[in-house]
Chains A and B, each alone.
Chain A
Amino acid sequence: MLYLAAILSSGLVLPTANLRAAGRSSTAGSRAHVVAKWPWQSIAVDIKKDLYAFAKPQTLGPAASKQAQSSAHTLSHVGTGLR
């Protein structure tokens, strides 16, 4: 369900023409099944999943880790700058 919600909230919807070409229905009940079989759909979902989790320490990029270590700021402080 979360997977489907992530897809829908991304605004990712299969064009009807493509669905027809694939021989599948565009009804809501079949959408999750269809999307799961289309690799280009899952890419955006994978990226979004990683974005949800990316700030965990083990996924921090080296530049950010270096910045966090060398800066007087804590990591949470680093992350709160809108300006």
Chain B
Amino acid sequence: MKEKGCGPIMIRLSWHDAGVYSKGKLTGGCPNAAMRFTDGGEGAFGANAGLPDVAVGLLEEIATKYSNKISNADLWALAANVGIEVMGGPAIPTQFGRVDAASSAESVESQEGRLPDGDKGVDHLRDIFYPKGFDDKDIVALSGAHTVGGCHADRSGFEGDWTEDKLKFDNTYFTEMLQKEYVMGKASTGEPQYVHEASGTIMLISDLALPADDKFRPWVEKYAEDQDAYFADFTDAWVRLQENGVAELRKRL
């Protein structure tokens, strides 16, 4: 995983599997690996572009090897947590018990209102994350996962990496966000995004909305100064995200 740099896409796979959960105006959703099915539902959501083919394909051999021992949804959660640790991040405890969807029909109805858009601001972030049980601190901590990976024009429409070492899980998302000066630009697709011209790193509108907001900014500053605090708060929020909507969890397989 470390050699091939697959950690970030494993994080995205687990996040988008679990991130459909909501208990606000929209209800339901849970990590159930419904993205395995591409005839409709979550596997066909635009927000999930690249996940059913690339990420699920990367895990195919292990999923087959342990098919009668671990659900795909549990495997995806575990793979993300291994990826975070391999990239230098915190060791995340993994509980098991997620039940796989049997077909695309067990998907949520739409990505709208469940998964965030990178071209929107703080109101949108709160509209998406509050109904999942997260507060402002959690939103900032979870956004810090952008410290790894990058955007691809053929998936999200955005283009570029957030930090200068996209395979190192640390707090540089926050330090770079505060230290660098970004200018508004466009990806090759025309999507608006901020660019740091000297290094070529990017930030999305939803990223730079964080330090611009009075309630979010203190957490951005805290995590930029204190990586241990960031790791602790990220772990807390991330585990809750991975377990949202799961009826029965257990510590063992």
Contact = CB atoms under 8 A, between A and B. Distances in A.
B9 interface: yes
Interface centre among A50, A55, A56 (most CB of B within 10 A): A55
B218 to A, nearest CB: 25
B1 interface: yes
Interface string A5-21: 00001111100000000
B9 A63 contact: no
B158 to A, nearest CB: 6
Interface centre among A52, A54, A83 (most CB of B within 10 A): A83
Contacts of B94: 10-11
A76 interface: yes
Contacts of B7: 79
A28 B60 CA distance: 36
Nearest to B147: A82
A20 to B, nearest CB: 16
Contacts of A66: 57
Contacts of B2: 55
Contact of B151 (A40, A79, A83): A83
B85 A79 contact: no
A47 B70 contact: yes
A51 B61 contact: no
Contact of B11 (A48, A55, A78, A82): A82
Given A43-B69, A55-B6, A64-B54, A81 B60 contact: no
Contacts of B150: 80-83
A57 to B, nearest CB: 8
A9 B24 CA distance: 33
Interface in B75-100: 75, 78-79, 82, 85-86, 91, 93-96
Contacts of B149: 80-83
A44 B145 contact: no
Interface in B133-167: 145-146, 148-152, 155-156, 158, 161-162, 166-167
A34 to B, nearest CB: 13
A82 B5 contact: no
A73 B151 CA distance: 13
Interface of B: 1-9, 11-12, 50, 53-54, 56-62, 64-66, 69-70, 75, 78-79, 82, 85-86, 91, 93-96, 118, 145-146, 148-152, 155-156, 158, 161-162, 166-167, 251-253
Given A80-B5, A80-B150, A80-B167, 14 more contacts: A43-B66, A47-B253, A48-B78, A50-B66, A55-B4, A60-B61, A63-B57, A79-B9, A79-B58, A80-B9, A80-B161, A81-B155, A82-B146, A82-B148
